[in-house]
Amino acid sequence: MKKILMTGNEAIAEGALQAGCRFYAGYPITPQNELIAYMARHMIEAGGVFIQAESELAAINMVFGASAAGARAMTSSSSPGVSLKQEGISYLAGAELPAVIVNIMRAGPGLGNIWPAQSDYFQATRGGGNGEYRTIVLAPSSVNEAYNLVQDAFDLADKYRIPVMFLGDGILGQMMEPVLAHSQRLSACSRVNQLPAKEWALTGCKGRNPNLAASFRLAEGVLEKHNMHLQQKYNEIRSNEQNYEGLFLDDAQVILVAYGTMSRIAKGAVNRLREKGIKAGLIRPVALWPFPVNAFTQNKKLKIRYLVIEMSYGQMVEDVRLAVNGAWPVDFLGRSGGGVPTEDEIIKRVLF
Amino acid sequence: MKKIFSRPESLRDVPTHYCPGCGHGIAHRLLAQAVDDLGIREKVIGVAPVGCAVVAYDYWNFDCCEAAHGRALAVATAIKRVRPENIVFTYQGDGDLAAIGTNETIHTANRGENLTVIFINNAIYGMTGGQMAPTTLLGQKTATSPRGRNADSEGYPLKISELLAQLPAVKYIERVSLHSPQEVLKAQRAIKQAFQNQIENKGFSLVEILSPCPTYWGMSPDQAVEWVKETMSKEFPLGRIK
């Protein structure tokens, strides 16, 4: 391992290559351009395929084809571009094809601007495309975590045959931090070989019956049966894959809840509040779906107040309220359109 | 007695859902025959469209992939890049290839992807009930051009094959028809050629097939075949385009 200084965008790209991602298609959009450029430079030397697609639609559908053909495949974009990918994500979910989709969020709605935001939480966690489906959603809070977590994203995608959304924001994508990275790129097989072979992949039907990758299920009852299977899979993921970081949860009476970049500012606020003698704590969801509801069901003896902080006008707060289910008050502080809540604003709200 | 003619192995022995007189059944068989003749059934990966041929994979006996409406060539591009040793084709209608998927069509051709494209032009949207297609003829009445296609408001029939022929990376384009046994044999040769080109790594090959749709043209199967011969093939001239 060695320490490398890189942007979040580059760390996600390098982490993906380390995970055995051997197909990437993307389309330029700020603030994720370092990611597509990194893939253009390094995918071929890793023995994979890089394509600058003609559109976001083409890119996500290329990922569909690459995944159907058995490759670990990824695309990346930023908010308006991810909106364009939603149809393809719905098809991936319906056809049960694994894929990783990176969204380095910028402010909206519409073209919005290129400042950081967390306003695509609903789109990512509720499924922005048609039909009822779920995607696993992971949200790193540092460049080093992004490098490692994206590797988990590929494993989860393959394990459950599901698209995984990887959610960062413009700050995380652009910011440079040290990454403890593998000094050599591992062979694509080293991780993939630990997983079951993709017997469903399209490889040509030599020695077996033909395979089909499709989401279309026209005959009566067939789609309902398939959707029940998807729901069972989603319930399994809800049980197995909750992922969060807790800070001072044993004695905290004011628990801040924040993810991604926002959680680092919240962590600073927690430390300053502790210096003032206030028993503050932090829940940082690492997985946004499945939402880590278990983090909110601990320690029922203490009187607790939650404060959810987001770079949005209140999206994850709905999941916190569902998890808390009225047991404790849940307050909210958020800014969007490029605004980022500061430590001072958080502390002021807690002390108010 | 020696058997000299039979169903290709690449075509399953099942009834299709296509209407009487529809060209898809013939086109499916020609494609399956070409795959058998070239001995590539175990290497082929087909990409089915959204449109009347959405479940073509129920009829073909080899690996297949679905594509969202218009995105068949993006899907096929990736499959072929990931598995260059396989033979990859798309089978698309006029709405899929020349309306909602025009961007993918032009850019896949412009990259010179080593793919085979079977393009079914029947001048109408069949699956959704007979609406105007980009290839609908001037004056042709459809559900969404009830007074006949008018150039002033709906533009002209889109000759996507001639457009694609301008691109330097495109290797082979031929327009064929299914209106007579003689033309069907020419279509068979063209489809085989388009696969042969891919086997030889020559690049992007497309066969446009003029195909009858009696149901939504409001004709008998005989009249539909005659219309392809006398009217449609005047607007879309047959033969090698590139």
Every domain of chain B and the residues it spans: 24-212+223-240
Residues with pLDDT less than 50, chain B: none
Query: What's domain A2-200+229-238's architecture?
Result: 3-Layer(aba) Sandwich (3.40)
In this complex, do A71 and B65 lie within 8 Å of one another by their Cβ atoms? no
Read off the tokens for A132. 């009822």
Alpha carbon distances (Å) from A143 to A99, A312, A343, B235: 21, 21, 21, 59
What mean pLDDT comes out for the span A267-294?
Answer: 98
Q: What is the ipTM of this complex?
A: 0.97
**Does residue A194 carry a pLDDT above 70?**
no
What mean pLDDT comes out for the span A90-119?
Answer: 97
| CATH class of the region B24-212+223-240 | alpha beta
Report pLDDT for A1. Answer: 85
Distance separating alpha carbons of residues A119 and A121, to the nearest angstrom: 6
Intervals of CATH 3.40.50.970 along chain A: 2-200+229-238
In this complex, do A58 and B74 lie within 8 Å of one another by their Cβ atoms? yes
**Does residue A54 carry a pLDDT above 90?**
yes
Beta-bridge partners for B63: B45
Read off the tokens for A23. 């197909």
Q: How many CB pairs under 8 A join A and B?
A: 132
H or E element, residue B171: strand B170-177
**pLDDT averaged over every residue in chain A:** 95
Minimum distance, in Å, between the CA of residue A205 and any CA atom of chain B? 5
Report pLDDT for B131. Answer: 98
Report pLDDT for A352. Answer: 81
**Does residue A301 carry a pLDDT above 80?**
no
In this complex, do A51 and B62 lie within 8 Å of one another by their Cβ atoms? no
**Residue A226 contacts B, CB cutoff 8 Å:** no
Instruction: State the DSSP code for A74.
Output: E
CATH of domain A244-351: 3.40.50.920
Report pLDDT for A197. Answer: 87
Our separate counts of H helices and E strands in chain A read 13, 15
Give the lowest-confidence range in A127-141, A297-311, B28-42, B175-189.
A297-311
**Does residue A188 carry a pLDDT above 70?**
no
What's the CA angle centered on B159, arms B158 and B165, to 5 degrees? 140
**Does residue A298 carry a pLDDT above 70?**
no
Minimum distance, in Å, between the CA of residue A60 and any CA atom of chain B? 9
In this complex, do B62 and A73 lie within 8 Å of one another by their Cβ atoms? no
φ/ψ of residue A324, rounded to 5? -75, -30
Read off the tokens for B101. 């998927």
CB-CB neighbors (< 8 A) of B81 in chain A? 23, 49, 51, 66
pLDDT above 90 coverage of chain A, percent: 92
Strand segments, DSSP code E, in chain A are 2-7, 23-26, 49-52, 73-77, 99-105, 136-138, 163-169, 176-181, 212-213, 244-247, 254-257, 280-285, 287-289, 305-310, 330-334
**Residue A296 contacts B, CB cutoff 8 Å:** no
pLDDT grade for A193, boundaries at 50, 70 and 90: low
Report pLDDT for A297. Answer: 80
**Residue A295 contacts B, CB cutoff 8 Å:** no
Query: Which residues of B fall below an 8 Å CB-CB distance to A?
Result: 41-45, 47-48, 54-55, 57, 60-68, 71, 74-79, 81-83, 86, 103-104, 106-107
φ/ψ of residue A265, rounded to 5? -70, -40
